[in-house]
Amino acid sequence: MSPLILACGLVAPAWASAQILVGSTVQVYQAPALDPMTMPTAVAAGPSGQVWVADGVSDRVLEFDASGGLVRSIEAVAGQPLSNPTAVAADEAGRLWIADSDHARVVWLGPGPGDQGELPIDLALLPGLDLTGVGVSPDGDLLWLVDNEQHRVLRGEVDAGIWAVMGSYGEGLGQLRHPFMVGVDDDGGAWVSDAIGARIVGWSAEGEARRPIGRFGVQPGQVFRPKGVAVQGDRVWVSDSTLGVIQAFSPGGKLLDVLRDEQGRILHLEGPTGLAVRGDRLFVVELTAHRVTELSIGTKVGQPYEAPVASVIGAEGTENQACSMCHLEMIPALSRGAADLLTSLPPNPKSEPYVSTEGACLSCHDGSVMDSRKAVWAMHGHPLGEPIPDDMTVPDHLPLVDGAMACRTCHSAHTEGGSGQVHRDALMVRVEDDIEELCVACHGDMQKGGGK
Ligand code: HEC
Ligand code: HEC
Ligand code: HEC
Ligand code: HEC
């Protein structure tokens, strides 16, 4: 080797060979305008270009072809209609696995045209199973299921029918606080998004707990509402629906980069939730845009984002996680407007604090903590943002936003004296005793005897 070349190698700055991760939109997958998807949660990508999307609010899974065309709507499997299918996963044989949540069952379809069945799980041993995630090893032998309500995951050897339960409520190794989705690595190991725990909790294929990835916050390498997980080689992709970003970590927990747009800026998506990866393509469910976006992933020479050292040992903001998990605006770095954050401070006017906006509620009520998509977003049915009719008087204790109804008109927080600080019981309806009070407050004529 000539001394000249050697010298060049020595003086080259360390970042010259460093690479950033860039995502470019290839196409979007949407249902026809007359029958659109409603807050879909999960996506799976099959070996022959199939793309499946869990459209649970409409009780169906949609199948698209590689060019984005809708192939079919899967509404029943193994002799029973689907009821809120929340998650989908595909193995290398092209078999599709569906978590049929409201029936607490797991069903499969394909790869042959008539192949389908229901996984035999002994539900008597798993009362209250609340399925929000399903993942499968590439060879189809190992299945991972997420039980959100009971803060645990199930690892199943499909052919042998052997199931093991892992995880329990908490913040320790292998513990969970509302686990939501799961990504499976090439060996069959699992990485699970922990929505309230704000980290990614892992197990090896054999079921040994791994050191978690990420922690609560809004800086690179941190997560606020981790949702989708997809694993490919040494990259663990994680979406965050509130921050609107996707980050890639090594299985050891090192931030590889925050996904960028073609200009090298952080790529922001609309409520990114479920993820799937195949080849150089990343499929992202954009829940609030009711679609899936296919990104082509490439690298460019550049300076990848690095997690701040503090985020490894006691991140700023972690100590007030109990409050800032709802009050995003209470995260110190955000309120100071520090540079290099994954997002900026959302609008937070006194008339409608960020914490009681629709998006803030949805960040937990999208199924990751509680699934209210149907109850609230498909059926609540109150005209929000529209002027109140002249013949209706809204009492002062029900605050309007710019003269119109908003979530905070009927919902409040921390009203029960000192209690109600825990997220479980902080939120409530603005009434003293029962719900009817609320209705009568505006609809005087709902009262017995009518009139006001
Ligand atoms: C489950 C979500 C949630 C959690 C957890 C939570 N809050 Fe709130 N908080 C709310 C909502 C919703 C409101 C109502 C805002 C409105 O008036 O529309 C609110 C209102 C408030 C207000 C009134 C001022 C304002 O911003 O509107 C204060 C102060 C407050 N919270 C402090 C706290 C503190 C301190 C903690 C932690 C101990 C906490 N909250 C935890 C949801 C939450
Ligand atoms: C940090 C997560 C989180 C956020 C943000 C959040 N919630 Fe909740 N919510 C919960 C949890 C947890 C429960 C209790 C679920 C249970 O008991 O199983 C709950 C329960 C509720 C309930 C009672 C439902 C029932 O049937 O028990 C209402 C009403 C509610 N939330 C409204 C809201 C509103 C309105 C917002 C936005 C202002 C909001 N929530 C934001 C986590 C959250
Ligand atoms: C007109 C009054 C009103 C408005 C406006 C309103 N809600 Fe509700 N909401 C209710 C009532 C009443 C319930 C039932 C509460 C209960 O049973 O404890 C409820 C329940 C909920 C629940 C719990 C649903 C579940 O799965 O059990 C959530 C979450 C929620 N609302 C969110 C919202 C959000 C987000 C908005 C704004 C987009 C909103 N609400 C606007 C009255 C209202
Ligand atoms: C903050 C005021 C407010 C509260 C509280 C409220 N409503 Fe309403 N409600 C409205 C407005 C405004 C409309 C739309 C205008 C109208 O239909 O008069 C509406 C419409 C409705 C409608 C549809 C009526 C129609 O003709 O389409 C029903 C049903 C209804 N409300 C039931 C309820 C129930 C049940 C509750 C209690 C859980 C409730 N409302 C609480 C303001 C309110």
**What confidence tens digit (pLDDT) does each residue in 252-269 have?**
999 999 999 999 999 999
Expressed in angstroms and rounded, the spacing between residue 354 Cα and the centre of ligand 1 is 10
Residue whose C-alpha is closest to residue 43's, from 149, 181, 151, 144: 181
Q: Token pair of 352, please?
A: 């409608």
**Residue 313 in this model has a pLDDT that exceeds 50:** no
Please tell me the distance from the alpha carbon of residue 153 to that of residue 315, in angstroms, as a whole number.
Answer: 27
Percent above pLDDT 90 for the chain: 73
Residue type, 251: P
Q: Which residue ranges make up each domain of the chain? A: 19-311, 347-446
The reported pLDDT for the residue numbered 436 is 80
Residue whose C-alpha is closest to residue 61's, from 42, 45, 80: 42
Whether the full predicted model's pTM is greater than 0.85, yes or no, is: yes
Query: Whose Cα sits closest to atom 33 in ligand 1?
Result: 323
**Hey, is 288 helix, strand or coil?**
helix
Expressed in angstroms and rounded, the spacing between residue 423 Cα and the centre of ligand 2 is 7
pLDDT in tens, 127-184: 889 999 999 999 999 999 999 999 999 999 999 989 999 999 999 999 999 999 999 9
The reported pLDDT for the residue numbered 337 is 80
Ligand 2 atom, smallest distance to 149 CA: 18
The reported pLDDT for the residue numbered 363 is 97
Please tell me the distance from the alpha carbon of residue 134 to that of residue 251, in angstroms, as a whole number.
Answer: 20
Q: Which residues line ligand 4 (CB under 6 A)?
A: 382-383, 388-389, 392, 394, 398, 405, 409-410, 435, 438-439, 441-443
203 and 166 Cβ atoms separated by less than 8 Å:
yes
The reported pLDDT for the residue numbered 419 is 43
Q: Which residues line ligand 3 (CB under 6 A)?
A: 358, 361, 365, 370, 372, 375-376, 380, 382, 384, 405, 407, 409-411, 429, 435, 438
Ligand 2 atom, smallest distance to 370 CA: 15
Q: Which residues line ligand 1 (CB under 6 A)?
A: 322-323, 325-327, 353, 355-356, 408, 412-414, 421, 423, 426-427
Whether residue 213 has its Cβ less than 6 Å from ligand 2? no
Quickly state the pLDDT bin for 357 (edges 50, 70, 90).
very high
269 and 284 Cβ atoms separated by less than 8 Å:
yes
348 and 328 Cβ atoms separated by less than 8 Å:
no
The reported pLDDT for the residue numbered 428 is 74
The reported pLDDT for the residue numbered 422 is 54
**Residue 448 in this model has a pLDDT that exceeds 50:** no
Query: Whose Cα sits closest to atom 20 in ligand 2?
Result: 424
Quickly state the pLDDT bin for 121 (edges 50, 70, 90).
confident
The reported pLDDT for the residue numbered 424 is 53
> Quick one: which ligand is closest to 404's CA?
4
Substitution candidate for ligand 1 out of 326, 396, 411 with most atoms within 8 A of CB: 326
The reported pLDDT for the residue numbered 252 is 96
The stretch 363-388 carries a mean pLDDT of 89
Percent above pLDDT 70 for the chain: 90
Please tell me the distance from the alpha carbon of residue 24 to that of residue 295, in angstroms, as a whole number.
Answer: 5
Which CATH superfamily includes the segment(s) 19-311? TolB, C-terminal domain (2.120.10.30)
Expressed in angstroms and rounded, the spacing between residue 361 Cα and the centre of ligand 4 is 20
**Residue 427 in this model has a pLDDT that exceeds 90:** no
Expressed in angstroms and rounded, the spacing between residue 358 Cα and the centre of ligand 4 is 18
Quickly state the pLDDT bin for 225 (edges 50, 70, 90).
very high
**Residue 381 in this model has a pLDDT that exceeds 80:** no
pLDDT in tens, 275-308: 999 999 999 999 999 999 999 999 999 999 998 8
Expressed in angstroms and rounded, the spacing between residue 37 Cα and the centre of ligand 3 is 22
pLDDT in tens, 26-59: 999 999 999 999 999 999 999 999 999 999 999 9
Quickly state the pLDDT bin for 397 (edges 50, 70, 90).
confident
Expressed in angstroms and rounded, the spacing between residue 398 Cα and the centre of ligand 3 is 14
**Residue 13 in this model has a pLDDT that exceeds 80:** no
Half-sphere CA count of 452, side-chain side, radius 13 A? 12
How far apart, in Å, are the Cα atoms of 258 and each of 18, 70, 225, 305? 14, 31, 15, 6
Q: Token pair of 447, please?
A: 């009262």
Return the bridge partners of 61, or none: 54, 74
Expressed in angstroms and rounded, the spacing between residue 365 Cα and the centre of ligand 2 is 7
Expressed in angstroms and rounded, the spacing between residue 286 Cα and the centre of ligand 1 is 27
Residue whose C-alpha is closest to residue 221's, from 241, 238, 209, 234: 238
Expressed in angstroms and rounded, the spacing between residue 282 Cα and the centre of ligand 4 is 43
**Hey, is 367 helix, strand or coil?**
coil
Quickly state the pLDDT bin for 99 (edges 50, 70, 90).
very high
The stretch 324-351 carries a mean pLDDT of 89
Weakest-pLDDT range from 239-248, 315-324, 361-370: 315-324
Query: Whose Cα sits closest to atom 22 in ligand 4?
Result: 382
Query: Whose Cα sits closest to atom 23 in ligand 2?
Result: 428
Please tell me the distance from the alpha carbon of residue 144 to that of residue 206, in angstroms, as a whole number.
Answer: 12
Weakest-pLDDT range from 202-206, 228-232, 299-303, 305-309: 305-309
